Amino acid sequence: MTLTLYNTLTRRKEPFEPIDPKNVRMYVCGPTVYDLAHIGNARPIIVFDVLFRLLRHLYGEQHVTYARNITDVDDKINARAVERFPEMPPTEAIRKLTEETTAQFHKDIAALGVLPPTVEPRATDHIAEMRVLCDELVANGHAYVGEDHVLFAVGSMPDYGKLARRSLEEMEAGARVDVAPYKRGPMDFVLWKPSKPGEPSWPSPAGIATPGRPGWHIECSAMAGKHLGNVFDIHGGGIDLVFPHHENEIAQSRCAHGTSVMANVWMHNGFLQVEGEKMSKSLGNFVTIKELFDEWRGYSWPGQVARFAMLGTHYRQPIDFSQDALDQASIALSGFKTWAADIPGASPSREFMDALSDDLNTPRAIAELHRLSQLAQRGVHEQTDRMTKPGAMLEKLEASPAAQLSASLSFLGLDMESYDRNWVQNQSRLSISEEQSAKIAQLISARLAARKAKNWAESDRIRDELAAMGIQLKDGKDPQTGEAITMWEVKR
């Protein structure tokens, strides 16, 4: 099994060869902690969590270092902190905002089944490293000082624009005319800037007297360098980060360290839309991770459902996040829960691993889950047949489809043990009391029993009784297992 990964740097799928198989190193740009993370932010977190799991499987848990940072110094953070806590001194307000937001982020992504990365560096803990980078770049002529700013001179780097495949000439031609007076070239970008009163500030590098703060790009170069070294294996993030963020990270790190690459493989996830539209506050379709768990479209969605829905689309494709996709994910998981068997020593199937190793082809891996689920269902019937025949041999349990299904689900980070396949019926806290909810569950199972016994009159009577309580039923069949499933919702 060879792992192949699509590399944005070469625009090709390539066999993955770590620099040091005893220490495979990956960096992913993490959140800027000024607001609740939205489901678009969840995408890179989930995608690279799957890659982290795969790398740990291939090279051993002790041989993978995954760094995912927290950006806790940023203009948006400063503005939001003052807005939210106007009565506090700004530095205290900033600390309160970033701590609260980081804690909520951790809670959100844990519920999505995401493993903690090996290290989670915070920008504010790496200011010294950022200052050193600035000094080095000024010393070797790749950066200069202008009006208390440190700027990177993009013209000093012959292949600036290589990741994004943009030429400097084109970029300069397209640049706005109102270029800041302290910039020598219109595309030169800020490594360090002076702080206004009330903004977080640190002693500046490059002999600048005014205290200042780092630009965004230098933060990641400093944290990646500190934890993963000057050249490492994989760098990831959303597709929007290719330019300018990753291009600039590359420029800073390569020019400071005199290397020909910063990371060998650059990976980018596609963007997430909601019901076919760009997610935005003004369109009213902005969904935070927390909201999904609390209440979205009348339900509080389990983390497994959101995670599974996210993996249904290949990471490089745009993804359309919708209630329909979540419903489908619920139905599929409910079927899997029925047929999977947790057998110690079992591993995912060969086809499942091959699919993941092919540039994280999760849709193909999920098709394999459906196949295993069908086999497991058939196996149950066949085994009961066989057991009635004398001398029948039972297949080795850990290689059975049911066991492979369970192992594959857990490989994907889907905690099926705690997944309640009847979760839709557990939405009691939305608008229904515990008692009512228990009553509904009881009526639904009585109705399913009546339907099984082909007692249609009784089944209809129960449907009407529920309707009178304001409960609407949705009958469905698990498309893979054929098992009858009934979901309910409150009539609106």
Find the binding residues for ligand AMP in span 265-294 (CB under 6 A): 269, 271-272, 279
Burial of residue 319 (CB within 10 Å: 0-12, 13-18, 19+) is: buried
Cα 405 from Cα 376, distance rounded (Å)? 8
Angstrom CA distances, 36 to 58, 101, 220, 282, 330, stand at 34, 6, 21, 17, 25
Element (H, E) at 106: helix 90-111
Write the binding mask 24 to 43 for Zn ion: x where contact by CB under 5 A, - elsewhere: -----x--------------
Stretch that binds ligand AMP, among 135-143, 233-241, 339-347, 384-392 (CB under 6 A): 233-241
Residue 107 structure tokens: 């809670």
Which of the listed partners (Zn ion, ligand AMP, none) does 272 bind, with a CB threshold of 5 to 8 Å by partner kind? Answer: ligand AMP
Min. distance of Cβ 136 from Zn ion in angstroms? 19
Contact call for residue 212 and ligand AMP (CB under 6 A) = no
Q: With binding defined as CB under 6 A, does residue 137 bind ligand AMP?
A: no
Of 41-49, 110-118, 356-364, 407-415, which segment contacts ligand AMP by CB under 6 A? Answer: 41-49
Interaction of residue 200 with ligand AMP, rule CB under 6 A: no
Of 83, 100, 240, 475, the one binding ligand AMP by CB under 6 A: 240
Tell me if the bond preceding 244 is cis, omega within 30° of 0: yes
Q: Which of 32, 98, 101, 459 binds ligand AMP (CB under 6 A)?
A: 32
Helix, coil or strand: residue 184: coil
Q: Which amino acid is at 456?
A: W
Integer CA distances (angstroms), 384 to 116, 143, 387, 389, in order: 43, 74, 5, 9
Binding span for Zn ion by CB under 5 A among 23-31, 318-326, 371-379, 446-454: 23-31
Q: Is 67 in the site for Zn ion (CB under 5 A)?
A: no
**Considering only 99-107, 212-220, 253-261, 484-492, which stretch makes contact with Zn ion by CB under 5 A?**
212-220
What is the rounded CA–CA span in Å between residue 375 and residue 102? 43
Determine if 44 is a binding residue for ligand AMP (CB under 6 A). yes
Distance from C-alpha of 458 to C-alpha of 455, rounded to nearest angstrom: 6
The item of ligand AMP, Zn ion, none sharing an interface with residue 32, based on CB under 5 to 8 Å by kind, is: ligand AMP
Cβ burial, residue 134 (10 Å; 0-12/13-18/19+) = buried
By CB under 6 A, name the binding residues for ligand AMP: 29, 31-32, 40-41, 43-44, 237-238, 240-241, 269, 271-272, 279
By CB under 5 A, name the binding residues for Zn ion: 29, 220
